[in-house]
Structure 1
């Protein structure tokens, strides 16, 4: 038993390394040939955190790795691969030319509905509808959170790495799920070679939308196959979920158009009030890693302990968010005073 576990873990590590190499090689070719700028370029505006035009082609490295891993190592997840490719294609059009929000949302909804219909879980229809809604939110929030160097790539690395370890260490392990998750985590590492500050490539919608979809679809698959409870994927991606959800709620309460670009996320405020891109990313990495470790520990604990750890971690994230709010208010007040004095 132990020998099988060790060999499987080594295989997952090899898959992750291969994913990193393939993703990095694809992106390096795009940069070297100049195709990266022709496919899609992000031009800074007054809501951007960067100052130079940057290619938005990260998905051209991460998505092929994920799809190839599914085709070769987890063919039972074929529909996940098909949906990811379709979302990447539609999102590439959006990156290149722009698409109406209703068209993008329709594509996201169709992909999520296809997964829950073709791979239904043994729960009441209303529970499945709630899970589908949560998956749809995860697809979109990943796009909202792709706005600082190294951030979304780091969430991919730690989040899907957490999935890989969870699928191996769970009471009911899933080798297929572990391998696919390891491949995506590896692809994220390859992407971060070019995305950590100062970023030479951004993830773009063609990368962030499929990443959010894969986070939801693989999380759902693990829950459906009783690999992990439903709280596990939510806890693994909790930093992203918490930031995007709180920010969305605040904007809705103010009557703002939440789909428009802005700079009000916690990570954006951290960058703007002195932490910088690299500092913000490293702090978030520490938070992400902590959440993943706690989730993995909780996975093999009794149900009561599991939920206690979930609540404690949610409370911790709330305190972190409150601390960022306090620092932001002081920073904003200081800038206002300086501007008035000038």
Structure 2
């Protein structure tokens, strides 16, 4: 059953994505601007294929699916945002309502306010991190793949759902790897973050894994987005505005390009996931120590990126264009 679900998810995702990409005008174009990292217009909204594949591969499986309705709401508002734009306040209200609905339907035995805030933050930070070729897709394959492995170790049927999600992402990732031919869009990134949070909470609730495990698995994204948010808050920046001050964006700006940036982050993702699964299997009590170790490693990497970003004078240029709306040359960004 697990194999069949994965095959169906991958096949439907591949077919839908191919149809969307081949027929010009079906997907909106992501046009380069002062805050993007691309030099040409690229279709966005490829995440639609992921959800078509995943739902086709798993909807027929037995068992309750309390995530389905809330996920559908998040997908709908994200698609609308891709197509015509949505006011940030309305978008946030939908995210909060969807998270609250899942908390009520799933009935997690924890602080519901904390759960809702964690879900909404994860949904949005995942979207923030979807700005460089292959990055969000690789995090999905590694992150949900690690979830699937851990759920399988715990004997949970959720491993089938998670593996099918990985299978649905792979066709998109093949077309999103540098140089990207299609982008995820809000319709892909926001729901992926939403699912990362609710599966993480569910796994903790059901004792598939300790609380540190989902945090560690998605730590490369959580750390980058959270550190950047704090950095901008301390500087007095308008945090709701688009920018390119995330550490992965800075790497692209200082000349690493999309390929090398993806290679670094993919290495971190695989290293974090592999070590997390090893500790989960053989020494779960050491998980908090591993979380601290990887947090320090990421902090050192971010400090090095910050140093080189400022040394090359990109930091000042980025801050200036954030306030003026003008960007600098993108010739080295691809």
Task: Tell me, yes or no, whether TM beats 0.5.
Answer: yes
Identify which of 39, 51, 54 aligns with 2:27.
39
* Pair 1:272–1:325, CA change in 2 (3 A): same
Asked whether the 8 Å contact 2:99–2:116 carries over to 1, the reply is yes
Question: Which residue of structure 2 lines up, in the alignment, with residue 7 of structure 1?
Answer: none
* Pair 1:203–1:259, CA change in 2 (3 A): same
Question: Which residue of structure 2 lines up, in the alignment, with residue 3 of structure 1?
Answer: none
Between Structure 1 and Structure 2, which shows a larger proportion of helix residues?
Answer: 1
> 3-state DSSP class of the match of 1:75?
coil
What RMSD, in angstroms, separates the aligned Cα atoms of the two structures? 2.0
- Give the superposition deviation at 1:203: 0.4
Cα distance per residue 1:6-26 (max 9 Å; x no partner): xxxxx6455444433321221
| 2:207 maps to 1:247 | no
> 3-state DSSP class of the match of 1:114?
helix
| 2:149 maps to 1:168 | no
Q: How far, CA to CA, are the matches of 1:148 and 1:159 in structure 2?
A: 17
Residues 200-239 of structure 1 mapped to structure 2, 5 A cutoff:
200-239=181-220
**In the comparison of the two structures, how many residue pairs are matched?**
318
Residues 46-125 of structure 1 mapped to structure 2, 5 A cutoff:
46-73=34-61, 75-77=63-65, 79-123=66-110
- Give the superposition deviation at 1:98: 0.7
> 3-state DSSP class of the match of 1:269?
helix
Identify which of 30, 33, 41 aligns with 2:20.
30
Asked whether the 8 Å contact 1:164–1:178 carries over to 2, the reply is yes
Q: How far, CA to CA, are the matches of 2:246 and 2:9 in structure 1?
A: 30
Q: How far, CA to CA, are the matches of 1:179 and 1:325 in structure 2?
A: 40
Q: How far, CA to CA, are the matches of 1:242 and 1:56 in structure 2?
A: 25
Asked whether the 8 Å contact 2:16–2:52 carries over to 1, the reply is no
List gaps (5 residues or longer) in structure 1: 1-10
| 2:116 maps to 1:129 | no
Q: How far, CA to CA, are the matches of 2:251 and 2:315 in structure 1?
A: 15
List gaps (5 residues or longer) in structure 2: 318-327, 329-334
> 3-state DSSP class of the match of 1:38?
coil
Question: Which residue of structure 1 lines up, in the alignment, with residue 172 of structure 2?
Answer: 191
Q: How far, CA to CA, are the matches of 2:117 and 2:263 in structure 1?
A: 31
Q: How far, CA to CA, are the matches of 1:218 and 1:246 in structure 2?
A: 23
Q: Normalising by structure 2, what TM-score?
A: 0.90
Asked whether the 8 Å contact 2:232–2:239 carries over to 1, the reply is yes
Asked whether the 8 Å contact 1:73–1:179 carries over to 2, the reply is no
